[in-house]
Structure 1
């Protein structure tokens, strides 16, 4: 089993070329095996579950990935969002075709609800993702990472959703390097932190529900409550663009104001200023309001700065 730790960033299609140019230029500073652009991949992922969403309810996802004529079977646990980053268990096997090999699950510590294995006969393909992946190896002094840009779609019998995102995956070293590099990218290109995985997008198509983090007890520490409101805000921001409904900017703003109460003064003030900026855009009667909001660099920069602060609190 491997533990995958990644920082995901939303990006709008009109800004992808700028992000790729930034990554190309970064690699050209010092070309080596751990800092270079890699070949672009065309990926197909078929995700499997029962009609009753047995795996999803147990916190697991199972897929077959086709890449360059090879097939890879993957099982992932839901894991946890570590203050905007995803940490989850992952098992992978090369398989001969696009058919699941369920015997491989003997290597996975299944949750109790799945151990009876009766669900295996009811597995069906519930959605799939098709996307092009551009890949860069990036090296900072204390961090090695893989950065990918994915563009494509999630499709199912219930509808489809767009994939347009960047992922920074830790390969070795200090995980804070993911945030530090993301900040340098966000200074050049408007991006926003995302906690919504491709698998969650597929599930959302079927159930039409937005998945929020579990609410902590009122007696939880300030750091825990701050992390909760931070992630709630990230979910609302992504949902606003998925649903193309600027009305969701209101619960997003509410979440940010709840978060403000747990932050140090400088970060709290940055949220107040950001709220004023967003409010000014919302007052304008423009059909492109969501696109304009997604082009505000400060949104990504401020959320990354808060994410770094929250991560530091969690590590204490």
Structure 2
């Protein structure tokens, strides 16, 4: 088993070329051979579950990926969000065809609800994710990471959703290096932190619901409340763009206001200034509100800076 720790960034499709050009230039200008572009891959992925979403409800994703005429079976756990990061258990096996080998799941510590394997008789492909992946291997200041740019779509009998994102996966070193590099990206093009995985996009097409973090108990610390409102902010932001509904800018702004109350003064002031930018957009834009919100660089920069502070304060990560 490997533990996957990654930072996912939303990027609108019109900025994917700019993201690719920035990463190519970064590798070109690198003073060492530790920044290189890899071969682009076309990835075809089938996700399996029961009609009742038994695996999803247990926090498990089961996938077969086809790449370069080879097949890889993968199990991922839902894991936990490290204040905007994804931290998940991951098991992978090479298999000879696109048929599931369920005996391999003996290596996975499945939750008790799945232990009897009765659900395995009712598996079917519930959705697909098919996308092109550009890949860069980058090492900077002792942090080695794989940076990928994914463009494609999620499809199911219930509809489809686009895939347009960057992922920074930690290979070695300190996770704070992911944030530092992501900030370099965010200062070049508009990106925003996302906690919605491709598997969650597929499940969402069927269920039509948005998943919110668990609300802290009464009497929770200011830090716990800050982490909660930060996640709520990310959820509403992603939902606004997924649902193409600019009315959701109101709960976005409300969660920002609640978050600001839990932050140090400097970060709170930055968040207040961002809200002023949104207010100006609301007063000056009309038909292109969503585009104006999504193209503002300051959103992603502040999302990343607040996540840095939350991780440093919560987990003691060096910055």
The TM-score normalised by the length of structure 2 is 0.97
CA distance in 1, matches of 2:262, 2:107: 42
Q: CA deviation at 1:34?
A: 3.6
CA distance in 1, matches of 2:284, 2:247: 14
CA distance in 2, matches of 1:33, 1:128: 36
Identify the residue that residue 179 of structure 1 maps to in structure 2: 179
SS at 2:240 equivalent: helix
Identify the residue that residue 245 of structure 1 maps to in structure 2: 245
Identify the residue that residue 228 of structure 2 maps to in structure 1: 228
Q: Does 1:302 align with 2:306?
A: no
Identify the residue that residue 116 of structure 1 maps to in structure 2: 116
Cα deviation per residue 1:19-44 (whole Å; 9 max; x = unaligned)?
11110011112376641000100001
Identify the residue that residue 86 of structure 1 maps to in structure 2: 86
SS at 2:162 equivalent: strand
Cα deviation per residue 1:232-264 (whole Å; 9 max; x = unaligned)?
110110110000000111111111111001100
Identify the residue that residue 49 of structure 1 maps to in structure 2: 49
Identify the residue that residue 148 of structure 2 maps to in structure 1: 148
Identify the residue that residue 20 of structure 1 maps to in structure 2: 20
SS at 1:39 equivalent: coil
> Which has the larger displacement, 275-284 or 48-57?
275-284
> Which has the larger displacement, 273-282 or 27-36?
27-36
Identify the residue that residue 133 of structure 2 maps to in structure 1: 133
CA distance in 1, matches of 2:292, 2:244: 13
Gap regions ≥5 residues in structure 1: none
Gap regions ≥5 residues in structure 2: none
Q: CA deviation at 1:289?
A: 1.0
CA distance in 2, matches of 1:34, 1:90: 26
Q: Does 1:257 align with 2:257?
A: yes
The TM-score normalised by the length of structure 1 is 0.98
Aligned pairs, number: 316
Cα deviation per residue 1:3-57 (whole Å; 9 max; x = unaligned)?
0000000001111111111100111123766410001000011000100010011
Q: CA deviation at 1:216?
A: 1.4
Cα deviation per residue 1:247-292 (whole Å; 9 max; x = unaligned)?
1111111111110011000000011110010111122352111111
Cα deviation per residue 1:100-149 (whole Å; 9 max; x = unaligned)?
10000000000010001100001111000010000000111120000000
RMSD: 1.0
Q: Does 1:293 align with 2:317?
A: no
CA distance in 2, matches of 1:139, 1:25: 14
